[in-house]
Structure 1
Amino acid sequence: MTGPVTDPTPVARLDDVHLSFAGVKAVNGVSFEVRPGELFAIIGPNGAGKTSLFNVLSGVYRPQQGSVEFMGESILGRRPHQIAAMGMARTFQNIALFEHLTVLDNLMLGRHQHITYGFLQAFAWVGTARRQEIEHRRAVEEIVDFLELEQWRTMPVGLLPYGVQKRVELGRALAMEPKLLLLDEPVAGMNLEETEDTARYVLDIRDELDVPIIMVEHDMGLVMDLADRVLVVDFGTPIATGTPDEVQRHPDVVRAYLGSEVGS
């Protein structure tokens, strides 16, 4: 497994982040950083605050305390579309595709932030609009090849198997050309074969495309096989951060989440 690249500037950093809803702590003093070239995983029981951390990172929630940085800049107070424009892409546990559009059209939607021409140019399809359209189509076809979606490229995504739909959603995030990719339970609901395929694509994204990844996932086998480092949270509070081997041996993790048989 290729490890993280040594670089003094983290891609993302959270420092002492606190987030509450009506007095209930969703995130309680979480700090971590993600390094270039790293696959960083966040695990914990249901309700541990994992999705809340993703929402803090992507600008959906603003924490009451702490700092959040992306590419060396504070992103506190920035809206989700502004953070996405900086290069942060996200997939969701529940598929959010346009089921009546083809695979190609859904992937093209991921190119929206790279489009600079206006409505009139698009309508006439000349000059900048024509050149950019060709470039965007080429980028999308590269993703089709990368994720092995050729046989479904012109099919409406609503007709595709669940695992392929999840792959299309991953491709749409890649179409943004992200500097950081957030994967929210990328193998949820998949069978073994689909899970193994997705694991291979996730590693290829990190190693071949050189995109750092933050992954929330309940499949512990997948996390321990893929991640460079793991953060464990419980009731919004961080209880361990380290390599998969270190985390599996941590007594608080064994008690809170993984179970004694994993730590044995």
Structure 2
Amino acid sequence: MAVVNPVLEVDAIRLAFDGVVAVDGVSFTVEPGELFAIIGPNGAGKTSIFNVLSGVYRPQQGSVRFHDQDLIGMRPHRIAALGMARTFQNIELFSHLTVVDNLMLGRHNHMRYGALSAFAWIGRARREELANRSAVEDVIDFLELEQWRRFPVGLLPYGVQKRVELGRALAMEPRLLLLDEPVAGMNVEETEDMARFVLDIREELGVAMVMVEHDMGLVMDLADRVMVMDFGKPIRTGTPREVQEDPDVIRAYLGEQHRTAGGVA
């Protein structure tokens, strides 16, 4: 039986700023097709981990391997080119551009033609542009964005904007997707829609995901495994049920008042 290597391997990373430790000895793996969630209180180090993975921060210790390639010291655009895409807690879209134009920005790693051929609009430039447009149309269909395709994203409802940001990441055709609080600020209906799309990404596209999220209902329903952080350190990694029933998690993250007969409320 063939051995399947992890998509992502994080080993004992440590990140500090002027003596303040943001991430301390964090290790985990993400398997192909897995949805791995990271939870913890504000300031626990969750977003710092994302910044290490995407090359924004360089840890003082530890290693990060993505499909067997060492990412430490690699620039963010090179990591993106390897197939790692990210969404942000705060929407990072171009509000004056349309949905289609914002999604096309996610295709930049797939564009190989130069300025001259682009200006002349012939040959390779024309072929690649049509291929990239086709890929964007697939994302629009997948995320049900057709009715908003020509709208400037700044005019769209908040939940739709979050969906467009997810679409821009999917337009990169990632092998690993980092979701930074994908349902933050959403109402119940928007949250349910986003949860459905996240499930579709895993089941239909087979893309592995790492998700940081405060919505415990969403995490426990969707995640295959969960790592709980507190003050920069991992205190428990396991299945949602194992995490919910861990006394240290209940004390550190949710507090004793959230204990129920079945674990965590």
TM-score, reference length from structure 1: 0.96
Q: 1:10 to 1:230 in 2, by over 3 A?
A: same
- Helix, strand or coil for the counterpart of 2:65? strand
Task: Give unpaired runs (5+ residues) of structure 1.
Answer: 1-5
> Who is 2:195 aligned against?
199
- The match for 1:155 among 143, 151, 162 is 151
What is the correspondence of 1:44-193 to structure 2 with a 5 Å cutoff?
44-193=40-189
* Separation in 2, partners of 1:25, 1:64: 10
Alignment pair present for 1:15 and 2:49: no
* Separation in 1, partners of 2:88, 2:113: 29
- Helix, strand or coil for the counterpart of 1:208? helix
- Helix, strand or coil for the counterpart of 1:187? coil
Q: Deviations over 1:95-125 (max 9, x none)?
A: 0101111000000000001000000111111
> Who is 1:244 aligned against?
240
Task: Give unpaired runs (5+ residues) of structure 2.
Answer: none
* Separation in 1, partners of 2:225, 2:255: 19
- Helix, strand or coil for the counterpart of 1:238? strand
Q: Deviations over 1:213-251 (max 9, x none)?
A: 000000000000000000001000000000000000011
For the Cα contact (< 8 Å) 1:217–1:223, is it kept in 2? yes
For the Cα contact (< 8 Å) 1:7–1:35, is it kept in 2? no
Task: State the shift of 1:207 in Å.
Answer: 0.8
What is the correspondence of 1:15-34 to structure 2 with a 5 Å cutoff?
15-34=11-30
Q: 1:147 to 1:12 in 2, by over 3 A?
A: same
Spell out structure 1 runs of 4+ moving beyond 4 A: none
Q: 1:250 to 1:7 in 2, by over 3 A?
A: farther
What is the correspondence of 1:227-238 to structure 2 with a 5 Å cutoff?
227-238=223-234
Q: Which amino acid aligns with 2:13?
A: V
TM-score, reference length from structure 2: 0.96
Q: Which amino acid aligns with 2:80?
A: A
* Separation in 2, partners of 1:102, 1:171: 13
Measured on the aligned residues, the alpha-carbon RMSD in Å equals 1.0
- Helix, strand or coil for the counterpart of 2:16? strand
